[in-house]
Structure 1
Amino acid sequence: MAASTYHSHNRSVIRRARAGDLLEFNRGWYSHWAVYIGNEEVVHLGGIDNDGINGTLKSNHVFTICGKTFNKAVVKKENFWKVVFDSKVEINNTKDKKCRPKPAHEIVREALSKLGEIGYNVLWNNCEHFAAFCRYGVNWSEQANKALTGIAAVGATVVVGGIIRELCKGRKEKTRKHLDF
Structure 2
Amino acid sequence: MGNQVDKLSHLSYAEVPTTDPNGLDTEEDGPRIGVSYIFSNDDDELEDNVDGPDLDQNQEEKHYDKRNEVECAIYNRDECIYEKSVIAKDMETYSPENLLNKCKAGDLLEFVATSQYPQWVVYVGDFQVVHLHRAEVKNSFLTDASQGRRGRIVNDFYKFKPLSPEMVVQNAMEQVGAKDRELSWRNSECFAAWCKFGKREFKMGGEIRIGKQPYRLKIILPEKQTHVLEFQCLEDLIMEKRRNDQIGKVAMIQELANHLSNVGSIRSDPNAH
TM-score, reference length from structure 1? 0.58
> The residue matched to 1:20 in structure 2 has which SS?
coil
Would the aligned equivalents of 1:119 and 1:125 in 2 still touch at CA under 8 Å?
A: no
Letter aligned with residue 101 of structure 2: R
Q: Which residue of 2 aligns with 1:104?
A: 165
2:105 to 3, 16, 19: 19
Tell me which protein shows more helix as a share of its residues: 1
Q: Which residue of 2 aligns with 1:144?
A: 239
Q: Shift of residue 119 of structure 1?
A: 3.4
Q: Shift of residue 94 of structure 1?
A: 2.1
Q: Deviations over 1:59-81 (max 9, x none)?
A: xxxxxxxxxxxxxx100101111
Q: Shift of residue 4 of structure 1?
A: 9.3
1:45 to 132, 157, 172: 132
Query: Structure 1, unaligned stretches of length 5 or more?
Result: 48-72, 162-181
Show the 5 A alignment for 1:76-115.
76-96=138-158, 98-115=159-176
Q: Shift of residue 143 of structure 1?
A: 4.5
Distance 1:89 1:147 in 2: 16
Query: Structure 2, unaligned stretches of length 5 or more?
Result: 1-58, 65-93, 203-233, 245-251, 264-273
Which of these two proteins has the greater Rg computed from alpha carbons?
1
Q: Shift of residue 22 of structure 1?
A: 0.6
Distance 1:44 1:147 in 2: 16
Distance 1:110 1:147 in 2: 23
Number of aligned residue pairs: give it: 126
Indicate how the Cα distance of structure 1 residues 148 and 12 shifts in structure 2: closer, same or farther if over 3 A, else same.
Answer: closer
Q: Shift of residue 35 of structure 1?
A: 0.2
Q: Deviations over 1:63-114 (max 9, x none)?
A: xxxxxxxxxx100101111111210011111235x20010000000000011
Letter aligned with residue 10 of structure 1: P
Distance 2:148 2:61 in 1: 4
Would the aligned equivalents of 1:44 and 1:130 in 2 still touch at CA under 8 Å?
A: yes
Q: Shift of residue 145 of structure 1?
A: 4.0
Distance 1:136 1:87 in 2: 25
The percentage of aligned residue pairs carrying the same residue is 29
Letter aligned with residue 12 of structure 1: N
Q: Deviations over 1:1-34 (max 9, x none)?
A: 933999x733221111010101101032320010
Distance 1:25 1:102 in 2: 22
TM-score, reference length from structure 2? 0.40
Letter aligned with residue 16 of structure 1: K
Q: Which residue of 2 aligns with 1:57?
A: none
